[in-house]
Amino acid sequence: MAGATVMRSFDGADLGDAPLIRVRGLVNRFGEQVVHDGVDLDVRRGEILGVVGGSGSGKSVLMRSILGLRRPNAGRIDVLGMDAMSADPAVRRHIERNSGVLFQDGALFSSLTVGENVQVPLKEYYPELPESLRYELALLKIKLAGLPADAIDKLPSQLSGGMRKRAALARALALDPPLLFLDEPTAGLDPIGAAAFDQLILTLRRALGLTVFLITHDLDTLYAICDRVAVLADRKVLATAPVAELETLDHPWVQEYFNGPRARAAQATAEGND
Ligand SMILES: Nc1ncnc2c1ncn2[C@@H]1O[C@H](COP(=O)(O)OP(=O)(O)OP(=O)(O)O)[C@@H](O)[C@H]1O
């Protein structure tokens, strides 16, 4: 997995065991509303890090800040050993190039086929690639995401919700990014589809050595595939730990979330699968 490859920063330095994402003292405000007030977070190389928190706790704003889609009010974010808040377009492009993102709604272009969607990043970053090779690469990613080959010529509207997620995942993986960001990937999927998607993420992490930042409300996903889970509450990351350790955290939201009947059911399922 990840250990087999040397991860390098923009200037070619070996990142070693340094976290691939490091957030310190992050502050995000919208007018009077303070969403983050001193958020600290590390995402370690090769891990699947789950991010949980109540609705409106700032999970998506955190992801958008890390991706450079929102400029925080204060703090520091390093991605792949680089200052992610840098205005240098070359640094921005390097981070973008190395980050695959699956947004909550999939965000596929509805007028393009699945194959054309997957080729969008390839065209942007490698315009010189012959079309036939781009098509082959798109097909590879589509199969990697668990779709049948004939999905390549279909429009997103011709696919089921689960297949659309897989198509969006294929596009997120188009450039072989070391970092994968997933915003509620199993939302809207039935339990069987959600469990299959979880297993796909696990398989891809192993096969491709991915480091995964995963926002989710899905307790089954947390128990099934996350190495550690960060809890966003009270405008901070309360704790980052394996899910079993979080169950004992003395905080009302955490207690309700991790010790409620749904969490117990998810835990029992995960133990049954071990
Ligand atoms: N562009 C914006 N302008 C104003 N307020 C915003 C903006 N983006 C986010 N917010 C506010 O920031 C807070 C955090 O939003 P965010 O989308 O990160 O929450 P979340 O934890 O992802 O929630 P959910 O689980 O419901 O998706 C919310 O109160 C939201 O209204």
Residue 88, in any domain of the structure: no
Structural domain tally of the chain? 2
The sheet that has 228-233: what strands, in order across it?
99-102, 179-183, 211-215, 48-53, 228-233, 236-241
Residue 187, in any domain of the structure: yes
- When the pLDDT of each residue in the chain is averaged and rounded to a whole number, the result is 89
In sequence order, which residues have a C-beta less than 8 Å from that of residue 154 and are 6 or more positions away? 113, 114
Query: 205 and 228 share a domain?
Result: yes
Ligand 1: does its nearest atom lie under 6 Å from the Cβ of 63? no
Domain that holds residue 207: 48-80+178-274
Lowest mean pLDDT: which of 12-16, 18-22, 45-49, 259-263?
12-16
If you average pLDDT over residues 117-141, what whole number do you get? 94
Q: What spacing in Å lies between the alpha carbon of 55 and ligand 1's midpoint? A: 8
Q: Per-residue DSSP letters for 55-104?
A: TTSSHHHHHHHHTTSS--SEEEEEETTEETT---HHHHHHHHHTEEEE-T
* Closest alpha carbon to 50 in 181, 200, 245, 209: 181
Ligand 1: does its nearest atom lie under 6 Å from the Cβ of 60? yes
Lowest mean pLDDT: which of 1-10, 47-56, 183-192, 243-252?
1-10
Q: Indicate yes or no: pTM above 0.80.
A: yes
Reported as a pLDDT band with limits 50, 70 and 90, residue 2 is very low
Give the ipTM of the model, two decimals please.
Answer: 0.97
Higher per-residue confidence, 1 vs 124:
124
Q: What spacing in Å lies between the alpha carbon of 44 and ligand 1's midpoint? A: 25
Query: 159 and 234 share a domain?
Result: no
Query: 131 and 198 share a domain?
Result: no
